[in-house]
Amino acid sequence: MSLTSVLNIAAAALRLNAAKVAASADNVANVTTDGYKAVAVEGVAVASGGRQGAVGGGVTGVLRPTVSAQGLLAATTSQTDLAISGAGFFPVETPAGEHRYVRTGRFSPDAEGFLAEAAGNRLLARGLDAQGRPTAGGPTPVKLAAGTAALQEDGTPGEVTGFDIASDGTVDALFANGNRRAVYHIDLA
């Protein structure tokens, strides 16, 4: 093994360590960012000259994102902030109409009353009829607008005064007369 090979191996190790430090710095800088997932750098041996079974090529860093890993759950004061404990993603629709999946659960009503992230991506759910059965079609954006009229379980219209989102993903409309009815079900992907 030549001196050049030894220096190249040492330089590769230094680059790997620099990549690990940079990933750690990003992780620390984003510790309070909603939905941020830590990144790890893993060292992988490199063969010298690209030959199978050869040694002495050093190491290279490979990023290992932890997209589906559980993040920290924190209490908030917003009734529309949602969290996933375990596996899964919230289905959302972008302003361009594309369907995507996110782990961030910080939703709030937009100007039209739809639950949306700060980026404008609207939460998607299955609509439910007055008997709690899924409506025809696929998932639709969740609209939570108090003061609107909706059908109650008995089929009579009532004024919606609020909403309740259960841990199983069922969204109930709360009516002025004290009744409630399931109007959406949020299915995690």
* pLDDT over 90 (residue 29): no
Structure confidence at residue 1 (pLDDT): 62
Q: What pLDDT band is residue 123 in, cutting at 50, 70 and 90? A: very high
Tokens 């589906």 correspond to 68
pLDDT at 99 over 90: yes
Query: pLDDT value at position 18?
Result: 87
Cβ(81)–Cβ(106) under 8 Å?
A: yes
Write the pLDDT tens digit of every residue in 36-77. 777 888 887 776 665 555 566 677 777 777 666 666 777 888
Predicted confidence at residue 63, as pLDDT, reads: 76
Confidence band (pLDDT; 50, 70, 90) for 97? very high
Q: Residue 62, Cα to own-chain centre: how many angstroms?
A: 23
Confidence of residue 27 (pLDDT cuts 50, 70, 90): confident
Of 122, 184, 126, 123, the closest CA to residue 150 belongs to 184
User: Are the C-beta atoms of residues 59 and 48 closer than 8 Å to each other?
Assistant: no
Q: Which residue has the tokens 């709360």?
A: 174
Q: Which two tokens stand for residue 110?
A: 């937009």
pTM above 0.75, yes or no: no
pLDDT reported for residue 56: 63
Q: Give the residue from 83, 91, 81, 171 showing the smallest Cα distance to 134.
A: 171
Which comes out higher in pLDDT, residue 20 or 93? 93
